[in-house]
Amino acid sequence: MSFGCRCKQPGAYCATLTRNDEGNPFSLIPVLVTGLQCAQVLGRGRRFEPKEVIRGADAPWLEPYDKQGNKEIRSERTQQMGARMTISQSCILLRDDTTGEVMLFADPAEIIIARTRAEFFAGLARMEAAKTEGKWLAGYLSYEAGYLFEEKLAGFVEENRQTPLLCFGIFDAPQKDGCLLAQPKQRLENEEFLTAPKAAWAFPAYKERFDRLHRHLRQGDCYQANLTMPIEARWNGDPRAAFWSLIERQPVKYGALVDLGGPVILSRSPELFFRTDEEGWIETHPMKGTAKRGADAAEDAAIVAAMRHDIKTQAENRMIVDLLRNDISRITEVGTLDVPKLFEIETYPTLHQMVSHVQAKLLPDLSIRDIFAALFPCGSITGAPKLSAMHILHELEDTPRDAYCGAIGMISPAGAMRFSVAIRTISLFEDGKAIFNVGGGIVFDSTAQAEYEECLLKARFAIGDQEIAR
C-alpha cells in the first residue's frame, strides 16, 4: 500500500511511501523523487531494498531515504553480522593517489538507479536531461549493462545480479576543498578490514574453465578473453576508513568510493576507461600485460625490460589496442585517431602493468548513450572480438560480475567525462559479505597455472598477504 507525499509541490512526482515488512503503517519510508528532494517522514523507517518500494511508471529510479534525507544503511541484520557502515550521506569520492587530487560529490539532488532494461535506457535519458540542465553526474555502470547495447546478449542481463545496472547521482557541483568526507580517516580496528577470503574456484575448477576457453581460442571463436573469478570475504568496520587504508597498500590513479544505494563500492583501479574534454577529444588507456614486482631495483628493471620485449605480452596489449581503436572509430572523426603511447610500463607496489594510449576527436552532438553504446564495456576486460568474447565468458563464469569490470566516474555539464575500468573493485553488502573479482587475459599460449597465480597476485590489493582459501 502506498501513501501520497505531504509536500504538495506542484508539478513534481509524488513521493511514494510503503509499509514495512510487518505491515506496520507507522513504519513508513520516504523516497527521493524526480526534480525534488522530499524527506517527509511519517514514522521511523528502516532501509528497504528497491523491489519493496512502489515506483511510479515515469520514475524508475526512485530510492529509499531515512528521516534526515540520508540512506538508512545500517540494519539489525548488519549489526548482527558484525559489519557496519558509518557513511552518513550519499557520496562518491574519486581520487588520484599519484597527485592527491580528490573530486567529491555529496548530497545528490536525485539518484538514478536502474535494475531492468526499461529502467536502464530511461535512466540514460534522465542523465542526458540532467547534463543539459547544467548538472554534474557521478556514479557507475555494472558490467552486465553492456549486454543491453548488443541485442544478441540482452537476454543475459536479468540473471542473478546483486547490484544495479546503472547508479548515478545528480549534483549541482563537486564539493569544495576541505569537505570532511574527502579527508583521510584512520581505521581504529587492529584487524584487517577484509577477513576469511575464499576463491570461488579452486585450481581444478579454474583449469576446467580455462581448458574450455582454450578450445574456443584454438577454434578461432576469439583471440583473447578475460576470464575472471570472484573471491568472497567478510568485512568489518568503516568503508571510508578502509578506502584510505587501501591507498596505503596500493596507490592508483583512479580510486573511487561509491555509496549511492545497493552495495558500497571501493575501487582501486589503475586503468582509465576513457576521458573526454570540453573540446571534444577522447582518450583511453587500455591496460593488458602483468608481471610481479622484483625483489630489488635491479630485478625490477630487468622485469620491465623483459615485458617490453615479450612477444606474448605485446600481443595481448596490441589486440586490445586494436579493439579500442575500432570502438572509438565508431564515434570519432576520420583521420583523428592516434596511438601516442604503445607498450608503456606502469609500476605499482605489487606488480607492473603494460599500458597504451589511444585518442581521437569525437563527432559533434553525441549523447551519453552514444558514447557508452560504442565503448562499453571496455575491451580490456572482455577480449577480442568483443561480442564473441562476452558470449563465451558468460558461459564460463558462474556469476554476474556486477560492478566489477563496469565503469566508475563523472560527467560535467560542459561535456568533460572521466571513467575508470572497475577492476580491483570490492562490493560491500549489508550482511557482512564482500566480493571482489580477479582475472586476466587468456591467449593461445597462456597456461592455466600461470594465469591462476596471476589472479591470486592481483587479489593482494584487497587482502595483502592473507592466505586465500580454495
Could you confirm whether 271 is annotated as catalytic? yes
> CA dihedral in degrees (78, 197, 461, 256; nearest 10)?
-20
The answer for residues whose C-beta is within 8 angstroms of residue 220's C-beta and 6 or more apart is none
Residue 163 CA neighbour count, 13 Å, CB half = 33
Q: Which residues of 291-323 are buried (b: 16+ CB within 10 A; e: fewer)?
A: bebeeeeeeeeebbeebeebeebbbbbbbbbbb
Could you confirm whether 52 is annotated as catalytic? no
The active-site residue out of 271, 397, 430, 451 is 271
Phi, psi of 62 (to 5 degrees): -70, 145
Neighbour tally for 14: CB within 10 Å: 19
**Residue 438: which of 180, 253, 201 has the closest Cα?**
201
Output the nine-digit C-alpha cell for 144: 552486465
Give the CA distances from residue 351 to residues 163, 198, 316, in Å, rounded to whole numbers and listed in that order: 29, 22, 17
Cβ-contact 20, 49 below 8 angstroms: no
The active-site residue out of 135, 253, 288, 458 is 288
CA torsion sign, 95 to 164 to 249 to 210? negative
**Residue 167: which of 119, 227, 234 has the closest Cα?**
119
Cα–Cα distance measured from residue 82 to residue 73, given in angstroms and rounded to the nearest whole number: 14
**Residue 406: which of 243, 282, 254, 241 has the closest Cα?**
254
Q: Look-up: residue for cell 508539478?
A: 11
Residue 359 three-state SS: strand
**Residue 265: which of 454, 93, 40, 59 has the closest Cα?**
93
> CA dihedral in degrees (390, 396, 401, 407; nearest 10)?
-30
Cα–Cα distance measured from residue 431 to residue 90, given in angstroms and rounded to the nearest whole number: 19
Cα–Cα distance measured from residue 12 to residue 32, given in angstroms and rounded to the nearest whole number: 11
Give the CA distances from residue 53 to residues 66, 115, 162, in Å, rounded to whole numbers and listed in that order: 13, 13, 17
Looking at the annotation, which residues are catalytic?
A: 271, 288
